[in-house]
Amino acid sequence: MEKTNTPRPVGRPRGPNHTITHRHVAFVAGILAGKTQKKAAQDAGFFAQTATKLMRNPLVIEELARQRQIVRARTGYDAEAMMNELDAAITHAKETENAGAYVKAIELKGKLHGLLIERVDQRQVAAFSINISGIDDQPIALPAPAEPLKLLADERLEGLFDE
């Protein structure tokens, strides 16, 4: 039999049966317990870097769906029950004229329907400076965001905020 050098998907068991392993089950349990993907992968004995690949593994996807179905069956709480609660919350927010609660309930309803997707911008910003008019013509340079921010003591600002 000739060997091939094709990469094997992370976490996929070897052999013809392709069954889920105890490490996969431990990873799924970690995800369901609220752990981050990386932490769940580490706790299950995988490298943290493989967490994203594990989440795409068909065996893990199937086990997650199966476990979530069990939780829904035990609790009786599903998307329909959540939608009913959100409708009640919206009605209550309207009656009490609570605009903040109304907006939040509408936002959650949109997310539940898949209409709103949160995206986090994680771009790094270069160093910047602040120039306060009337104090000095020299701006105060702040460190780049990648470094820990420290309060900069500057004698030019002493007494500025004293009453």
pTM: 0.47
Q: Residue 161 — pLDDT band, cuts 50, 70, 90?
A: low
Please tell me whether residues 29 and 70 are part of one structural domain.
yes
| Domain finish residue from 91, 112, 133 | 112
Residue 23 in this model has a pLDDT that exceeds 90: yes
What HEC string does 129-161 produce? Answer: EECCCCCCCCCEECCCCCCCCCCCCCHHHCCCC
Task: Work out the number of other CB atoms within 10 angstroms of the CB of residue 20.
Answer: 19
Tens digit of each residue's pLDDT (9 = 90 or more) over 56-88 = 999 999 999 999 888 888 888 788 888 999 999
Tens digit of each residue's pLDDT (9 = 90 or more) over 100-120 = 999 999 998 888 888 877 776
Does residue 124 sit within a domain? no
Does residue 157 sit within a domain? no
In angstroms, what CA-CA distances link 63 with 28, 114, 121, 149? 7, 22, 31, 43
